[in-house]
Copies of this chain bind each other. A is one copy, B any other.
């Protein structure tokens, strides 16, 4: 094994049957909350086209987090040249020949697909949506379950009028509070900002500080296991989505499933008998 090269691979936890079952029960709670609010469940793609994502300024705001899907230029001589060389060097690095132009970004947040999907639509009622997607974010360092390059994100999303979105976020937030109190999970809400690149140079980061629109549910000594995000008309404007002719508002609640798993294991221990009743069987 090349030194250090397996660090990220090891931080991509394989979930054993017991932990996978627990993660599914945790997710089942969020899916139930979604269903109780008539949210429709979708499966979203693994990639988002760069030109769609560009509408959101994601790549200029979070360039350090993005992962691109790269492949060899398909010209046969180029592929043959790769196949004939040592494809992976002793440091674990792929010795790529010429790459195709990069056009796709591995999903950075599950809900982006929904705004692209509803582009140029006028909604005559609020839309409630949910999905669970593998999301990709580069980090300075990795830790299994808690800080993975790729992780599972469950999102509950509302797109509608200002009142509809605010009511939805408030309602789900109350549901979360009730639930964590019931199971006794030690968490607290905190104002948060997104992880902008060079934040103090970014007007959007300053705006988030002045008009907070993101709260994180923090477990223990700083593990954010959920976030509530009020986008105002940011995505409505960029994807030309309206609600009865007016620019649509949107908001989402995101749950990092592997982090919930870690929080449960850290707080209740590794044996199923001590997990919250709702997640035991």
Residues of A within 8 A of B (CB): 1-2, 5-6, 8-9, 12-17, 20, 23, 40-54, 59-61, 63-64, 66-72, 74, 76, 79-80, 82-84, 87-88, 91-94, 96, 99, 101-106, 113, 117, 134, 136, 138, 140, 149-150, 197-198
Question: With contacts A53-B88, A79-B197 known, what are 11 further pairs, Cβ within 8 A?
Answer: A12-B45, A14-B43, A20-B41, A23-B43, A63-B87, A64-B79, A67-B69, A68-B70, A68-B94, A74-B138, A76-B198
- A59–B94 Cα gap in the complex (Å)? 9
Per DSSP, are chain A's interface residues mostly helix, strand or loop, or mixed?
mixed
A50 contact set on B, CB distance < 8 A: 87-88, 92-94
The reply to whether B49 and A103 contact each other, CB–CB distance below 8 Å, is no
Within the complex, the shortest CB–CB distance from A121 to chain B, in Å, comes to 14
Decide: A45 and B14 in contact? CB cutoff 8 A. Answer: yes
B68 touches A9 (CB 8 A): no
Known contacts A47-B12, A68-B71; A93 and B88 CB within 8 A of each other: no
A9–B47 CB distance below 8 A: yes
Say whether A9 contacts B48, CB under 8 Å.
yes
Chain B residues in 8 Å Cβ range of A40: 16-17
Q: Which residue on B lies nearest to A13, using beta carbons?
A: B45
Q: B101 and A49: CB pair below 8 A?
A: no
A43 lies within 8 A of B63 (CB):
no
Question: How many Å lie between the Cα of A257 and that of B83 in the bound state?
Answer: 30
Residue contacts A-B, CB under 8 angstroms, 25 given: A1-B51, A6-B51, A6-B52, A14-B44, A17-B42, A23-B43, A45-B150, A46-B134, A54-B87, A54-B88, A63-B83, A63-B87, A64-B79, A66-B71, A67-B69, A67-B71, A69-B106, A69-B149, A71-B138, A76-B198, A80-B198, A83-B198, A92-B103, A93-B103, A104-B149
